[in-house]
Amino acid sequence: MSEPSTWPDDLDPLEESLLTRLDGLRPGRSCAVDPLTAATLFESQVASRLLDHTARWLRADGHGYYTIGSAGHESNAAVALALRPSDPALLHYRSGGFYVARASQVAGHDAVGDVLRGMLARTTDPISGGRHKVFGHRALNVIPQTSTIASHLPRAVGLAQWGARETGRGDVVVCSFGDASLNHSTAQGAFNWAQHTAHRGDPVPVLFVCEDNGLGISVPSPEGWVADRVGRMGMEVESVDGDDPAEVLAATSRLSGHAREQRRPALLHLRCVRYLGHAGSDAEAAYRTTSDVRADYERDPIVGAGRLLVDAGECAGRDLVEWYLSQRVEIRERALALLSEPEFESATQVMAPLAAPDEARVATRATAFHGSGRGGSLEPLTLAQTVNATLSDVLAADGGAVVFGEDVGRKGGVYGVTRGLQKEFGEARVVDTLLDEQSILGLALGIAVGGGLPIPEIQYLAYLHNAEDQLRGEAATLGFFSQGQYANPMVVRIAAYAYQRGFGGHFHNDHAVGVLRDIPGLVVASPAHPADAGPMLRTCAAAAREHGTVSAFLEPIARYHTTDLFDGDGAWLARPSAEHAPIGSGRVHGDGTDAAVVTWGNGLWLSLRAQRRLADEHGVRVRVLDLRWLAPLPIADLLTAADSAGRVLVADETRRSGGVGEGVVTALVEHGFTGRIGRVSARDSFVPLGAAANLVLLSEDDIVAGVLRLV
Q: Are 178 and 89 in contact (CB under 8 A)?
A: no
Torsion of CA 536, 540, 546, 550, to 10 degrees: 160
- The distance of Cα 362 from the centroid of its chain, to the nearest Å, equals 23
SS3 category, 133: coil
Highest mean pLDDT among 3-7, 220-224, 622-626: 622-626
**Residue pLDDT, tens place only, 409-425:** 999 999 999 999 999 99
**Gap between the Cα atoms of 627 and 654, Å rounded:** 14
- Say what the pLDDT of residue 328 is: 97
- Say what the pLDDT of residue 1 is: 52
Q: Are 263 and 257 in contact (CB under 8 A)?
A: no
Q: What is the CA radius of gyration of the chain?
A: 29
pLDDT of 286 > 80? The answer is yes
**Residue pLDDT, tens place only, 323-335:** 999 999 999 999 9
**Residue pLDDT, tens place only, 457-509:** 999 999 999 899 999 999 999 999 999 999 999 999 999 999 987 666 777 88
Tell me the DSSP string of 378-439.
-S-B-HHHHHHHHHHHHHHH-TTEEEEETT-SSS--TTSTTTTHHHHH-TTTEEEPPS-HHH
Q: Which range among 48-52, 66-70, 418-422 shows the weakest confidence by mean pLDDT?
A: 66-70
**Residue pLDDT, tens place only, 625-677:** 999 999 999 999 999 999 999 999 999 999 999 999 999 999 999 999 999 99
Cis peptide before 632 (omega within 30 of 0): yes
pLDDT tier, 679 (very low <50, low <70, confident <90, very high otherwise): very high
Instruction: Indicate the CATH number for domain 357-559.
Output: 3.40.50.970
User: Given CA atoms 512, 513, 518, 522 in this order, what sign does their dihedral have?
Assistant: positive
> Measuring CA to CA, how many Å separate 642 from each of 626, 651, 665, 667, 709?
13, 14, 11, 11, 16
More confident residue, 382 or 284: 382
Contacts for 557 with CB less than 8 Å, ≥ 6 apart: 415, 460, 495, 496, 497, 499, 500, 508, 509
Residue range 451-460: mean pLDDT, rounded: 96
**Residue pLDDT, tens place only, 303-325:** 999 999 999 888 999 999 999 99
In this structure, which amino acid lies at residue 394?
A: V
- Give the percent of the chain with pLDDT over 70: 99
pLDDT of 255 > 60? The answer is yes
Scanning 297-357, the segments in alpha helix (DSSP H) are 301-311, 317-338, 347-350
Q: Are 620 and 708 in contact (CB under 8 A)?
A: yes
Instruction: Indicate the CATH number for domain 587-710.
Output: 3.40.50.920
**Residue pLDDT, tens place only, 493-550:** 999 999 987 666 777 888 889 999 999 999 999 999 999 999 999 999 999 999 999 9
**Gap between the Cα atoms of 243 and 82, Å rounded:** 16
Q: Which range among 211-215, 239-243, 269-273, 279-283 shows the weakest confidence by mean pLDDT?
A: 279-283
Point out which residues pair with 490 in neighbouring strands.
Answer: 550
- Say what the pLDDT of residue 25 is: 93
- Say what the pLDDT of residue 69 is: 93
pLDDT of 106 > 60? The answer is yes
SS3 category, 623: strand
Q: Are 317 and 26 in contact (CB under 8 A)?
A: yes
More confident residue, 290 or 79: 79
pLDDT of 583 > 60? The answer is yes
Tell me the DSSP string of 138-199.
GGGTEE----GGGTTHHHHHHHHHHHHHHT-S---EEEEEETGGGGSHHHHHHHHHHHHHHH
Q: Are 698 and 603 in contact (CB under 8 A)?
A: yes
- Say what the pLDDT of residue 2 is: 65
Point out which residues pair with 589 in neighbouring strands.
Answer: 624
What are residue 47's phi and psi, to 5 degrees? -60, -45
Q: Among residues 39, 40, 42, 71, which one has the least CA distance to residue 54?
A: 71
- Say what the pLDDT of residue 614 is: 97
- Say what the pLDDT of residue 502 is: 66
Instruction: Give the Cα-Cα-Cα angle 469, 472, 475 (nearest 5 degrees).
Output: 100
Q: What are the domain boundaries of the chain?
A: 4-340, 357-559, 587-710
- Say what the pLDDT of residue 32 is: 78
* CA atoms lying within 13 Å on the CB side of residue 109: 23
**Gap between the Cα atoms of 73 and 55, Å rounded:** 16
**Gap between the Cα atoms of 473 and 467, Å rounded:** 10
Scanning 167-289, the segments in alpha helix (DSSP H) are 185-199, 225-231, 245-262
- What are the catalytic residues? 508
Question: What is the overall mean pLDDT for the chain?
Answer: 94
- Say what the pLDDT of residue 503 is: 67
**Inter-axis angle of helices 153-166 and 437-449, nearest 10:** 50
Indicate if 587-710 has the same CATH topology as 4-340: yes
In this structure, which amino acid lies at residue 610?
A: A
pLDDT tier, 147 (very low <50, low <70, confident <90, very high otherwise): low
**Residue pLDDT, tens place only, 163-190:** 988 777 789 999 999 999 999 999 999 9
**Gap between the Cα atoms of 397 and 395, Å rounded:** 6
Fold category of 4-340 in CATH: Rossmann fold (3.40.50)
Q: Among residues 601, 432, 592, 576, which one has the least CA distance to residue 526?
A: 601
